[in-house]
Chain A
Amino acid sequence: MATLIELERNGVLTLLDPGLGSREQEERRIYLSKRALEWLQNKLPQVGATWNTEVSPTEQLDALFYLFCSGQTITYDWRFKPLRSVELGIWELKTADIRLFGWFPIRDQFVASGIGVKRDIIAHKLYPGYIGECARFREQLNLDEPKFIPGDDPNVVVSNFDFP
Chain B
Amino acid sequence: MSSFQISISPSRRVAARFIEGVRRALQKALAEEERENGVTQADIARRIGVNRSVIHRELRGHRDITLGRLAELAWAMGREPSFSMPKIRNAEGANHPGTLGVVPTAEVSGFMTQADGRNYSFVASTSAQTFPTEA
Contacts and interface: CB of A to CB of B under 8 A. Distances in A.
Interface in B47-91: 56-57, 59-64, 91
A63 B128 CA distance: 16
Contacts of B27: 76-77, 80
Given A54-B19, A55-B16, A77-B31, A62 B64 contact: no
B127 A23 contact: yes
A26 to B, nearest CB: 10
A80 B20 contact: no
B19 A55 contact: yes
Contacts of A54: 15, 19, 64
B46 interface: no
A14 B19 CA distance: 28
B6 A19 contact: yes
B5 A60 contact: no
A56 B61 CA distance: 11
Contacts of B6: 19, 40, 44, 58, 61-62, 65
A80 to B, nearest CB: 5
Contacts of A66: 17
Contacts of B94: 22-23
Nearest to A21: B127
Nearest to B4: A14
A22 B20 contact: no
A8 interface: yes
Contacts of B135: none
A22 B1 contact: no
Residue among A9, A63, A77 having the largest count of chain B Cβ atoms under 10 Å: A63
Contacts of B102: 22
Nearest to A18: B5
B103 to A, nearest CB: 12
Given A22-B96, A23-B94, A77-B34, 18 more contacts: A8-B1, A14-B3, A15-B3, A16-B5, A19-B6, A22-B102, A22-B127, A41-B4, A45-B7, A51-B61, A54-B19, A56-B16, A58-B7, A60-B61, A63-B16, A67-B20, A73-B28, A80-B27
Interface of B: 1-8, 12-13, 15-17, 19-21, 24, 27-28, 30-32, 34, 56-57, 59-64, 91, 93-96, 102, 125-128
12 contacts: A14-B2, A19-B13, A44-B6, A45-B7, A51-B63, A53-B62, A54-B15, A55-B15, A58-B8, A60-B20, A61-B6, A95-B61
